[in-house]
A and B are shown apart, each in its own frame.
Chain A
């Protein structure tokens, strides 16, 4: 039995001594291949469900953000004229995108032509490229914009931070902020997820009368109207939040839109 060489190549391979180079390589590659298939299969098959979960989570955070803003629940439930509408914005023009709707936004953003590369000095948020279109939420009371909810993103300490920021109708102060995705250090930077810290954003001004960007996450407790409390032990995350808000509310981000709304053109 032991002297016979099996004719089947598969069996011959398995019959090789375990310590031979061929067998070692074969086992290494076979294990890698099977593991790859398993992991990729699971990821691809489950991705639609996970995407739906994340979308539901974002929706939930949006509702939580709105309900945390003082007087917002009352406004939403009391008057019929106040309602939240979804608009796709052309960031550079600062007005509603002509051809792109919330349904087609995802497809449009797959096309790299719809992204703008940012030079390092403009790229405060550390995102590299910025989409030309973004989906924002507007709350109108009659004609006037009462509240604008804008998705923002930037590079944090350990990975990207995603958030939604709500701007009051005066287009000068922040109504609230909620973090929808982050991978900061648990217990330090990850505290940006805590509602207690996020509450500090309500009523904070991001620019002064002359339109100068003033927002900052303070080092320590906030001292001016333009600051929110810093997070102890998370300087890099705090700085990332400052730069992210400044970028997205500035001329490269939603600045043109904010100006347009302020002029009453929107």
Chain B
């Protein structure tokens, strides 16, 4: 067994270097859907991080007793229960936001990041490293959501957290909101831009090309 990396590395790894969204391209479905405004993005990010950390802790605690044959369903059951509890809490204390997040909190269950981390990390590691890894991944996801949510809200509605930053033209200011920013495709573009930017700065993240173009002079 290779030596276990330090806790700090476990935590920092998934933030930028191994970011679940920009490097592994996991969990982008919700990243597209809930980033229309910053407050939904933050709520979703916090919910996912909490679910991820709690499920990693539980799975890691019982890791020696999970039969291989039913390991996926045991993990899914644990994740789903956590998600329902979080959803109920949101409906009780953050009712407004829960209305806007609608089904997407429930869909955390099927978020690849959660099952990916419990399956590949928490199942082989003690609770503390498992939770640190989950926290790192959760924050990595959160960072992407918050960046995209902030850009979309700022240019789509001229606000951040509902506070006016760019005064709108129709209310006497100068800013004409970009309607595209409120629609799902803009999140695709922003996410692609973010991945591109990150891979330009950190070329290690770029995947090797799947095919190598043949080295022949083109018939011009």
Contacts and interface: CB of A to CB of B under 8 A. Distances in A.
Interface string B74-87: 10011011001100
A50 B99 CA distance: 12
Interface in A13-49: 14, 18-19, 23-24, 27-28, 31-32, 34-35, 38-39, 42-43, 46, 49
Contacts of A186: 102-103
Contacts of A35: 77-78, 80-81
A32 B95 contact: no
B92 A28 contact: no
Given A27-B65, A28-B74, A31-B78, A53 B95 contact: yes
Interface residues of A, number: 21
Contacts, number: 60
B59 to A, nearest CB: 10
Nearest to A20: B67
Contacts of A50: 88, 91-92, 95
A42 B83 CA distance: 11
Contacts of B68: 18-19
A57 interface: yes
Main secondary structure of the interface of B (DSSP, over half): helix
A35 B81 CA distance: 6
B94 to A, nearest CB: 10
A34 B82 CA distance: 11
Interface string B85-108: 100110111010001001100000
Contact of B81 (A23, A24, A38, A53): A38
Interface of A: 14, 18-19, 23-24, 27-28, 31-32, 34-35, 38-39, 42-43, 46, 49-50, 53, 57, 186
Interface of B: 62, 64-70, 73-74, 77-78, 80-81, 84-85, 88-89, 91-93, 95, 99, 102-103
